[in-house]
Amino acid sequence: MMFRMIAIVAGLGLALAGSAEAQTPRKGGTIRMTAPYGSSFTSLDIHTTQRAQDEIYAKALHRSLYVWNSAEGKPVLELAKEDAVSGGGLVHTFKLRDDAYFHNGRKMTADDVIWSYTRIMDGTKAFPGARFVRVIEGAAAVEKGQAKEISGLKKIDDFTLEMKLTEKVDPGFYFFTALTSIYPADEGAKESFIQKPIGLGPFKFVEHVPGSRIVLERWDRFYKPGKPYADKIVVSVMGEAAARDVAFRNKEIDTSVLGPAQYVAYQSDAALKGTIVEVAEVFTRYMGMNPSFKPFADKRVRQAINYAIDTDLIITKLVKGKAYRATSWLPLTAPAYDKAMKPYPYDPAKAKQLLAEAGYPNGFEFEWTTSQNESWGLPIVSAVIPMLDKVGIKAKVKQVETAVLAEVVRSGDYQAFIYSQASGPDPQAALKCFHSSTPQPACNYTTFKNADFDKIVDEAGQADDPAKRIQLLQKANALLYEEAPVWFFNYNKAVMAVQPWLKGVQLNATELTHQNVEDLWVDETSPAK
């Protein structure tokens, strides 16, 4: 089902991936990827950074217990060969790989997994992966400084690990990102590790030129036979889209993320059109409304906002078609996405009627906090303001930088905000962000509270039958849509240009730039030596 869904949205990209499968991968060569998200790599300690930018290199250098399988659209075991579930779905016994070697030549054992997860729960460090490891019993106690060891982690032997969870969830969704990478326990604690990281990934560290590039070379003892294919990977920091465009056209880089303007330009250029791959990523862009601000406490007002905005027009004209219309919270590539859902139509008359029913016949005024972001920030807000004005709602813009916006939405210091938030890949976790027990700083940014919604999500969490769980999550998603705590704007369409000589690119719905690089290869036409 997932593959079909991705196929629908992937278009040209799938054709590219298909052609790669038909050829025999070539050994050798250099893959030249780009890190397109603005600034330098934050750190060579991937436990400390949640930025998509950093995970691009980390996917080559490190490995986690699970890995994202783009073709199947779900996480699959990576550092373990088997996961036996018991204890009513709460206890997972992992048979770890006995052929995974760190880049210092030492074999990975259960101790390394336990050490890594315990490190992530250090309650003085704010490691972003803590949100995932917290699902292990006793992890929160370590974070709070009440325990030194995670009670839910038990080493049975060097290659057998028992993990007891606090909730009946699929641990794959919690342990596939680089935020939970497994470090070598003996080396990870050393200060030198940050300068010269050691991982389990297919490529080992060679060089970091801060602000410019990271160079990695093939790790010959990688556990997947015959992989990786390439000799070397260079990941260049290239935050400027126009500079990437020149470098891509000049064949100096193999991948380049495209913004809306370039998306249009590449589509209309015969020489470049074939390089485009695209996928619906698991991010939802939205305007969050604060129920403590009186008008937004009324569901009819929130619905009126959804009716008052011509969302399709904005996506077509302003976002240049580089987005999919949102029809509630769960994105197209979520297993629980309901294709039957229809978006709020553009209907200013209906919006006015709802406002009048809610006691705001003349509208009202609110402050809208936004960043400068071109896809979900000020340009979008500027386009929406006249639409809201048409139904009597006046919006005053409060512009802040992205880092400040993150703090604003977590602290609730807003009347409305516009943001992009992960809404997958785990639909249950994504919807739990709207559960009344989820604190605002965690991800319930609009402090949504609805007893019926809570009940359905809780039931889904307890369901053993996957089909039943999906059905319940779809119900919860529909209820959320009806309650409209946000203006449902769009799901990100990630677009990347890929040189014809780079093969094996995966349509990763969690983040297109995050590639399992051991599957990539370059043919002999690559200009890189």
Partner 1 sequence: MLSFLFRRLLQTIPTVLAVVLLVFVLFSVVPGSIASSMSDDADPQVELRMKKQLGLDDPVYVRFGVYIAKLASGDFGTSFRTHEPVTSMIAKRAWPTLQLIFTAMAFAVVIGVPLGFIAALQPGGIVDTLAMVVAVSGLSIAKFWLGLVLMYLFALKLGWLPSFGYGDGGLKYLLLPAVTLGVSPMALFARTTRAAVLEIMTADFVRTARSKGMSETRVVKWHVMRNALVIILTTVGLQFGGLMGQAVVVEKLFSWPGIGSLLVDSVLQRDIPAVQGSILVVVLAFLAINLLIDVLYGVIDPRIRYA
Give me the residues that bind partner 1 (CB under 8 A), please: 39-40, 42-45, 48-50, 123-128, 130-131, 143-145, 191, 194-195, 209-213, 236-240, 242-243, 246-247, 249-250, 252, 400-404, 406-408, 410, 441-443
- Quick one: CA dihedral 248, 253, 254, 257, positive or negative? negative
- Quick one: CA dihedral 86, 87, 92, 95, positive or negative? negative
Q: Give the nearest distance from C-beta 135 to partner 1 in angstroms.
A: 13
Q: Give the nearest distance from C-beta 146 to partner 1 in angstroms.
A: 11
Could you say which DSSP state residue 280 is in? Answer: E
List of residues 6+ apart from 246 with CB closer than 8 A: none
Q: CA 175 → CA 47, 170, 197, 322, distances in Å? A: 12, 9, 20, 30
DSSP string, 466-477: HHHHHHHHHHHH
Three-state secondary structure of 485-514: CEEEEEEEEEEEEECCCEECCCCCCCCCCC
Q: Give the nearest distance from C-beta 4 to partner 1 in angstroms.
A: 32
Q: Give the nearest distance from C-beta 247 to partner 1 in angstroms.
A: 5
* Overall residue count recorded for the chain in this entry: 529
Nearer Cβ to partner 1, position 403 or 451?
403
Nearer Cβ to partner 1, position 349 or 404?
404
Largest CA-CA distance found in the chain, in angstroms, rounded: 71
Whole-angstrom distance, CA of residue 233 vs CA of residue 32: 6
Nearer Cβ to partner 1, position 280 or 443?
443
Q: Give the nearest distance from C-beta 249 to partner 1 in angstroms.
A: 6
Q: Give the nearest distance from C-beta 140 to partner 1 in angstroms.
A: 9
Q: How many CA atoms lie within 13 A of 183 on its CB side?
A: 23
Distance of CA 211 to the CA centre of its chain: 23
Q: Give the nearest distance from C-beta 452 to partner 1 in angstroms.
A: 25
- Tell me the three state secondary structure of residue 525: coil
Burial (CB count <10 Å: 0-12, 13-18, 19+), residue 506: buried
Per the DSSP assignment, residues forming a β-bridge with 496 are 257, 277
Element housing 352 (H / E): helix 348-357
Nearer Cβ to partner 1, position 400 or 478?
400
Q: Give the nearest distance from C-beta 128 to partner 1 in angstroms.
A: 4
Nearer Cβ to partner 1, position 144 or 455?
144
Structure tokens at 216: 């990695």
Nearer Cβ to partner 1, position 14 or 142?
142
Q: Give the nearest distance from C-beta 410 to partner 1 in angstroms.
A: 7
Cα Rg of the chain (Å, integer): 23
Nearer Cβ to partner 1, position 239 or 291?
239
- Tell me the three state secondary structure of residue 403: helix
Q: Give the nearest distance from C-beta 127 to partner 1 in angstroms.
A: 7
Q: CA 126 → CA 39, 54, 135, 504, distances in Å? A: 21, 17, 16, 35
Per the DSSP assignment, residues forming a β-bridge with 214 are 208, 235
Q: Give the nearest distance from C-beta 337 to partner 1 in angstroms.
A: 23
Nearer Cβ to partner 1, position 50 or 166?
50
In this structure, the dihedral spanned by the alpha carbons of residues 326, 328, 329 and 330, taken in order and rounded to 10 degrees, is: -80
Nearer Cβ to partner 1, position 143 or 518?
143
In this structure, the dihedral spanned by the alpha carbons of residues 261, 267, 272 and 274, taken in order and rounded to 10 degrees, is: 140
Nearer Cβ to partner 1, position 361 or 441?
441
* H helix runs in 167-240, sequence order: 185-188, 192-195
- Whether the link from the prior residue into 425 is cis, omega within 30° of 0, is yes
Nearer Cβ to partner 1, position 385 or 406?
406
Q: Give the nearest distance from C-beta 38 to partner 1 in angstroms.
A: 8
Nearer Cβ to partner 1, position 76 or 194?
194
